[in-house]
Amino acid sequence: MALGPATPAGPTLRAASPGKLSGVRRGVRIALWVAGGIVVLLGLAQIFLPKLAASRVSSRIGKYGKVDHVHVSAWPAIELLWGDADSIEVHASKLRVNPGQTAKLLDEARGVQRLDVDVASAEEGPLPVSDVVLQKRGSRISVQAHVDEADVAAALPSGFSVQLLGSHEGQVEVQASGGLFGVGASVEAVAQASDGKLVVRPRGALIEALKLTLFSDPRVYIEGVGATRSGSGYELSLDARLR
């Protein structure tokens, strides 16, 4: 009996049709174009978004005075669209704000991991201060500033005076003369943090239960204050955190 030609035991390989190859190539080209477009967009965002954010910060703070320079850093920069940033640096010549406005600005910077602000001259309410340095690391806030003794005296009511006695463990001890707490005499008092507020309490068996709140805001929790004598003025410090 005659045997026919041998048939391969394995599967038969067939060449892909030209149409299928063309479709695969087209899909690859589209994917490469999309990937390239994303890379270009991210690159442009990395260049322009921090500059736009810096301009916005400068405009926002500039409502309260003269801002000299703002630098914003974020990686990836697209996180700025959600109000987050790695760091922001602000240099200002002069600002005039009240405690509520300061708390609002800090709350708006909640998504900034590292915030550094220095102001040559500022007015926080009625008290002029200089050489202000504010730092924010995560939710932690620290502030240092210098105040002249003459400016402290000018900010106090007529006939009222304050003398620094000491500062330790987040408290400032002073001797106040005048009408503090309704007492027309010299009274020792302590400025300290109490439940996130900055308060002043007099010392004395009869009036120790009294207190005067100097600062209270639901967005900022005060943890401690400090003061040291420096030349003709004082070096002030404050530690706090965002709630």
The pLDDT tens digits along the chain (243 residues) read 445 555 555 555 455 566 666 766 677 777 767 666 556 655 655 677 888 899 999 999 999 999 999 999 998 887 888 889 999 999 999 999 999 999 999 999 999 999 999 999 999 878 899 999 999 999 999 999 999 999 988 887 777 788 899 999 999 999 888 755 555 667 888 999 999 999 988 886 555 567 789 899 999 999 999 999 998 899 999 999 999
CA dihedral (173, 98, 131, 87) positive or negative: positive
- On whether the CB atoms of residues 181 and 208 are closer than 8 A, the answer is no
Of 227, 87, 52, 102, residue with least CA distance to 152: 227
DSSP string, 17-70: PHHHHHHHHHHHHHHHHHHHHHHHHHHHHHHHHHHHHHHHHHHHHHTTEEEEEE
Indicate the pTM of the whole model.
Answer: 0.78
Q: Distance (Å, rounded) from C-alpha 168 to C-alpha 152?
A: 21
First to last CA, the chain: 97
Token pair in block for residue 120: 């040559």
pLDDT given for residue 70 in this prediction:
96
Count CB-CB contacts under 10 A for residue 160: 13
Q: What is the pLDDT of residue 86?
A: 94
Looking at the DSSP bridge assignments, the partners of residue 190 are: 173, 201
pLDDT of residue 1: 45
Domain residue spans of the chain? 22-108+120-132, 139-243
Asked whether 87 and 112 are in contact (CB, 8 A), the reply is: yes
Q: Are strands 112-124 and 85-97 parallel, antiparallel or unpaired?
A: parallel
**Tokens encoding 8:** 């391969």
Q: How many Cβ atoms are within 10 Å of 5's Cβ, its own excluded?
A: 4
Q: Rounded CA gap, 90 and 86, in Å?
A: 14
- What sign for the dihedral angle of Cα 137, 141, 142, 143? positive
d(CA 81, CA 94): 29
Comparing C-alpha atoms, which of 176, 156, 168, 141 is closest to residue 225?
A: 168
